Structure 1
C-alpha cells in the first residue's frame, strides 16, 4: 500500500539511504525502510535528505524493509493530498451531523406515534383496537428488522427489503423506527429510508381516510377492546 515518507541519512556517493513514514501516518517511532537510488522512479534529479517521497514496502530474504516504487512528491501533489484529507474530514463530519438529525427525527416520530395512537384512544377518538393493532404490527416489524440484522452479521439468508416495507406500510412502521434507532439497522441506507418514509406517509394517510369514512369504527365494533 503506498505511503508517504521522508528520506533520511541519504548517502549520495553510495546511492542509498532510508525513508521513514510521516509521523502523521504511522507515528513518530514508525520503522524506516532501506531505499536505493535504483528504486526511485523517474527521479530527474539526485535524491537529497529530507525529500518527501511516496513509496511501497517489501521485505527482502532477510526480512528487512525495503522501499520500492519510490517517487518524489511535489508541492502541488502535497496540496492536493492535504485538500483531499480536509474534504474527507468535512464529509465525515457532515455524515455524523446528518446521522444525529436522522436519529432525532426517528425518536420524535416514535414518541409522536405512541402519543397519538394511545392519546386518541384515551380521548375516545378511536377504539382501543387501533393502538393494539399498531402495537402488534410494530412488534412484528421490530422482530423482522432484528432477524435481518442478525442474518446480515452471520451471513445467513436476509429478509427482503420489500417484506420490511410491506410490514411498515401495513402499520408496523413505529416498530421499524424503533428498530432503526435501537439496532442501528437500515438507518443510513438512503434508498431504504426514502421508501420507508413513503410507507409511513401512505399508512398515515390511509388511516386518516379510514377514520374519516367511519371504516375504523365499523371494523372495531366486534372487538372486545372497542
Structure 2
C-alpha cells in the first residue's frame, strides 16, 4: 500500500533523510536509492508517496518513493505550459513586427526572465545552505513584472518551487494578469505610453553610459 507524506529532513551530501507520514505523523528513513525514474534531487518539504519495507536490522525504511510532481498533478509544468509560453513569445514578436509595441518590450521580458531565473537559482542555493531566502512575494512580483517565462524555466530546470500548489496557484495568477494586461494594450492600441516609457528609460540609460 502506498502512503503519503513529506520529506522533513534531507542531507544532500550523505544522500538520505526522513519522511513524515501525513496519516500519523510518524517518520521513516529514506535513502536516495529509493527514488526511482527521476534525476531530481529530493528537498526538505517535498510531498511524496512511498511504500515501506524493512532493512536487515528490522528497521522500517521507505521504498519506491515518488514525487507528487511526477504524477498528473504536474500538468502546470508540462507541455501545455511550455506551449503557452512559446505562443506568448510569438504573439510579442508579431506585435513588434506590426508596430503594436516597441521591440524594447522583448528586451524587458528577456531581462526580467533572466533576473527571475537567477532569483530562483539563488533561493534554491540559499535553501540548501540554510542562508537568507528570497521571499515568495518577491518571486511573484518578478513574475508579474514580466519574468514569468524565466520563472517557469527555473521551475522546470531547477525543480524549485515546482511542487508547492499554493505557490503555483499564485504564480499562474500573476501570469494571467501579466498576459492579460499586455494583450489588452496591444489589442486596444493603448500601448503607446508603455512604448514611450521604455524608450525614455532606454534613452536615459544610453546617456548615462555615454
Q: Which TM-score bucket, shorter chain as reference?
A: 0.5 to 0.7
Is it true that 1:97 corresponds to 2:66 in the alignment? no
Q: Aligned partners of 2:94, 2:186: CA distance in 1, in Å?
A: 15
Q: Aligned partners of 2:140, 2:74: CA distance in 1, in Å?
A: 23
Stretches of structure 1 lacking an aligned partner (at least 5 in a row)? 2-23, 33-55, 58-84
Q: 1:165 is matched with which residue?
A: 140
Q: 1:151 is matched with which residue?
A: 126
- Quote the RMSD (CA, aligned, Å): 3.6
Q: Aligned partners of 2:69, 2:152: CA distance in 1, in Å?
A: 19
Task: Check the 8 A contact 2:100/2:189 in 1, yes or no.
Answer: no
Aligned residues between the structures:
150
Output aligned runs, 1:62-101, within 5 Å: 92=66, 95-98=69-72, 100-101=74-75
1:90-134 Cα shifts (integer Å, max 9, x gaps): x95875222553332332233223222223223433221221121
Q: Aligned partners of 2:164, 2:111: CA distance in 1, in Å?
A: 26
Bigger CA radius of gyration:
1
> What is the TM-score normalised by the length of structure 1?
0.55
State the secondary structure of the residue aligned to 1:223: helix
> What is the TM-score normalised by the length of structure 2?
0.59
Q: 2:53 is matched with which residue?
A: 25
Moved segments of 4+, more than 4 Å:
91-95
1:6-43 Cα shifts (integer Å, max 9, x gaps): xxxxxxxxxxxxxxxxxx9347xx468xxxxxxxxxxx
Stretches of structure 2 lacking an aligned partner (at least 5 in a row)? 1-25, 27-51, 203-210
